[in-house]
Amino acid sequence: MEDTKIIELYWQRAGSAIDETEKKYGRMCRSLAENILNDPLDSEECVNDTYLNVWQSIPTQRPAHFAAFLAAITRRLSIDALRRRNAAKRGGGAFAVALEELAECLPSEESVEAQVEARELAEILDGFLDSLKETDRNMFVCRYWLCANISEIAQRLHVTESRVKSSLMRSRKRLGNLLSEVGYR
Amino acid sequence: MNSFLLMQALGEIAPEKVQKALESMGRTPQSAGKARPVRKLARTVLLAAVITALLGATAYAVGISVDRLRQEKLRQDLKIEENAVENYEEYALPEQEETAAPAAPKITVLSTYRDGDNQYIYVNISPVRKEQIREQAYGNGGFGADLDGVGHYTEIYFTREFTEDEHEPVHVTIEGKDEVHMHLKDEAIYEHWLENYDEQEQSLTLRVSVYLNSAAPENRPDLTRPLPLHIAYKSREEDSDLAMDYGTVEVKPAEEYCREIVFDTPPVFPGPEEGTAWEIRKIKLYPSQVLIYIWHDGIEALNLSAEERQALSPEELDRYEQARNQWFNLYDPVIGNSYVTFSDGTRCGIYGALTIPYVDGCQEFNTNWHEKTVNIAEAVSWTVGGQTVSFSPTAK
């Protein structure tokens, strides 16, 4: 079923809206949650919570990118769940490894003068991603937004793993430089 | 800044970029695999949605009891099972077979439960025309309820607005919409009414609130027998003579279900002047309501009877009101930001005061949970003004 029709079902408060969402995007949400939480039960809970969130959000929203809308909710709920589990840095699966990799491009704690709000930082990240080539941008988003494995990215994008790794490394370096330039070092 | 914040910030990037990445990863629809069964939470959402959908004309077509569906939906909405509300009772429904929406106006009493000084009764009335809802919202007419033996007819209220000395015995509110205050624009009130109205079926579900402890004894309902509840509609605008009788149903009082916790070491907070203080002596938890008992030195002098107040000069009355407000203004910021923690670690906040009557030598701070109901048996502590008081698990 097309996204617009699913969204319409939510607007009509039809129970089949959740069924159709599960059919079409259940796997995507579950995979994203599992990448972050590394726990099937917690992931399942997050996916269910995602449906509930969507049910409560539509109406009044009518998202233009329904898959991204769903994924953003799953991601946020999964990160919240991970926080609650207090296992952010170690033993947390792909997300924890992704976190450690991202830490490379961050300035040291001592040189940071002020914390920035996530939204302000998101604007910088948006600009940064716009400056990347499409393939590099997709790899970066797949790795750090979807928390996908490098091997999975390579397979899906039909490139070698080393190509993914080198692209990510270059992107992280550029992001690190950019963050320094705008005053975070 | 840490990588967690960076990861969080990434969540805010433009959705187009995420959509592209999802497509490149084959995670968009075409690649979606076999669906797994939807688990409990989603099933709950689904069930409520299905009931809502069935409540259209289809229910009659397939011979399902519409009133039974309404009871089921209400139980879901109020989270009766989830929060183990013990004193929720559903009424037996009429036995006649329903094959079509009723032509003549009728009321059906669905369920009831009692919280503190209120007994809530859910009634469905139908058929109701949309214009009647509009009149109700715009104050040009509306539904009224009375209880036999009370002899009091009252308009339907949007809020439980009590005056200190004169409590109306019956209030009819839209379920869950007590927060709709009169200062809202009429359009907003109208929208809230429509949320509880099924235009296709022309049915409206109301919550009738019977105030059991009316300050006026002659208005207090006799709880030893079933109470006939009568609902009618009257228009002031279209035609001054237009009135519609929705009939009478009998409701019976429900048992009270409550946890009362008396604090051995009451939480204490500063009063309006240096050297003064107020304390919270006990709390009563109900599935949908919380009562908090506040005490301080000199509290009696702030709660004069009507006769005593009448004896005051205007200046004295002014000083009296100012002194009361000084104290009362302290309560909301502290209690309105408090929360109760449950055994599974979840929390539920409570709202500011609805009323603060003087009861048993204390100010009784009446308020509601942020949720429609909570499982009071699982409440383990209360955090108020930075202080946490634990509840004995046996306190009930």
Residue B104: what pLDDT?
74
The CA distance from B184 to B187, in Å, is 8
Q: Of how many residues is chain B composed?
A: 396
Residue A65: what pLDDT?
84
Q: Taking all residues of chain B, what is their mean pLDDT, rounded to a whole number?
A: 74
Residue B7: what pLDDT?
77
pLDDT, mean of residues A92-117: 57
Residue B154: what pLDDT?
40
pLDDT, mean of residues B58-66: 59
pLDDT, mean of residues A131-138: 84
Q: Are B40 and A48 in contact (CB under 8 A)?
A: yes
Partners of B19 on chain A (C-beta within 8 Å) are: 65, 67-68
| Identity of the residue in B12, B24, B46 whose CB atom sits nearest the CB atom of A138 | B24
Chain A contact present for B2, CB below 8 A: yes
Residue B184: what pLDDT?
46
**Weakest mean pLDDT among A27-31, A180-184, B345-349:** A180-184
CA B159 vs CA A33, B154, B183, B367: distances in Å: 42, 13, 11, 13
Distance between B378 CA and the closest CA of chain A, angstroms: 21
Percent of chain A with pLDDT over 90: 0
Residue A103: what pLDDT?
62
CB count within 10 Å of CB B63 equals 9
Q: What is the DSSP string of A19-62?
A: HHHHHHHHHHHHHHHHHHH--HHHHHHHHHHHHHHHHHHTTT--
Partners of B15 on chain A (C-beta within 8 Å) are: 63-65, 68-69, 72
The CA distance from A58 to A9, in Å, is 9
Cβ of A122 within 8 Å of Cβ of B18? The answer is: no
Partners of A27 on chain B (C-beta within 8 Å) are: 27, 31-35
Cβ of B38 within 8 Å of Cβ of A121? The answer is: no
Phi, psi of B170 (to 5 degrees): -130, 130
Distance between B257 CA and the closest CA of chain A, angstroms: 30
Bigger pLDDT: B351 vs B95? B351
Chain B contact present for A50, CB below 8 A: no
**Does position A48 have pLDDT exceeding 60, yes or no?**
yes
- pLDDT bucket at B155, cuts 50 / 70 / 90: very low
| Of residues B240, B149, B134, the one with CA closest to residue B186 | B134
The CA distance from A123 to A127, in Å, is 6
**Which chain A residue's Cα is nearest to B30?**
A24
The CA distance from A61 to A74, in Å, is 17
Chain A contact present for B390, CB below 8 A: no
**Which chain B residue's Cα is nearest to A120?**
B9
Q: What is the pLDDT of residues B282-313, one digit of tens each?
A: 999 999 889 999 999 999 999 998 888 889 99
Token pair recorded at residue A84: 């609650």
Q: For testing the chain A interface, which of B5, B10, B19 should be mutated: the one with the most A CBs within 10 Å? A: B10
On the question of a cis peptide bond just before residue B221, with omega within 30 degrees of 0, the verdict is no
CB count within 10 Å of CB B41 equals 16
**Residue B365, beta-bridge partner list:** B292
* DSSP strand pairing (B347-349 vs B339-342): antiparallel
**Does position A46 have pLDDT exceeding 70, yes or no?**
yes
The CA distance from B117 to B219, in Å, is 14
- pLDDT bucket at B221, cuts 50 / 70 / 90: low
Percent of chain A with pLDDT over 70: 81
The CA distance from A113 to A104, in Å, is 18
The CA distance from B263 to B167, in Å, is 29
Determine the 3-state secondary structure of B123 from DSSP.
strand
Cβ of A67 within 8 Å of Cβ of B22? The answer is: yes
**Weakest mean pLDDT among A136-145, B211-220, B310-319:** B211-220
| Identity of the residue in B13, B19, B52 whose CB atom sits nearest the CB atom of A126 | B13
pLDDT, mean of residues B320-332: 89
**Does position A113 have pLDDT exceeding 70, yes or no?**
no
Partners of B35 on chain A (C-beta within 8 Å) are: 22-23, 26-27
**Does position B273 have pLDDT exceeding 60, yes or no?**
yes
- What ipTM is given for this predicted complex? 0.72
**Does position B31 have pLDDT exceeding 50, yes or no?**
no
Cβ of A145 within 8 Å of Cβ of B26? The answer is: no
Residue B53: what pLDDT?
57
Q: Are B356 and B331 in contact (CB under 8 A)?
A: yes
Which are the contacts of A8, defined by CB distance < 8 A and separation ≥ 6? none
Distance between A91 CA and the closest CA of chain B, angstroms: 15
**Does position B125 have pLDDT exceeding 80, yes or no?**
yes
**Does position B33 have pLDDT exceeding 70, yes or no?**
no
For residue B158, which amino acid is it? F
Determine the 3-state secondary structure of A65 from DSSP.
coil
The CA distance from B341 to B347, in Å, is 4
Distance between A30 CA and the closest CA of chain B, angstroms: 10
Q: What is the DSSP string of A141-154?
A: HHHHTS---HHHHH
Q: Are B6 and A102 in contact (CB under 8 A)?
A: yes
Cβ of B41 within 8 Å of Cβ of A49? The answer is: yes
**Does position A95 have pLDDT exceeding 80, yes or no?**
no
Chain A contact present for B29, CB below 8 A: yes
Token pair recorded at residue B63: 């011979």
- pLDDT bucket at A148, cuts 50 / 70 / 90: confident
pLDDT, mean of residues B203-215: 70
| Identity of the residue in A102, A137, A146 whose CB atom sits nearest the CB atom of B25 | A146
Phi, psi of B33 (to 5 degrees): -95, -160
| Identity of the residue in A107, A122, A146 whose CB atom sits nearest the CB atom of B9 | A122
Chain A contacts in chain B segment 30-59 (CB below 8 A): 31-36, 38-42, 45-50, 52-53
Cβ of A28 within 8 Å of Cβ of B53? The answer is: no
Residue A151: what pLDDT?
82
Q: Taking all residues of chain A, what is their mean pLDDT, rounded to a whole number?
A: 78
CA B2 vs CA B232, B322, B387: distances in Å: 63, 51, 32
**Strand order through the sheet with B379-384:** B347-349, B339-342, B379-384, B387-390
Cβ of A22 within 8 Å of Cβ of B35? The answer is: yes
Percent of chain B with pLDDT over 90: 19
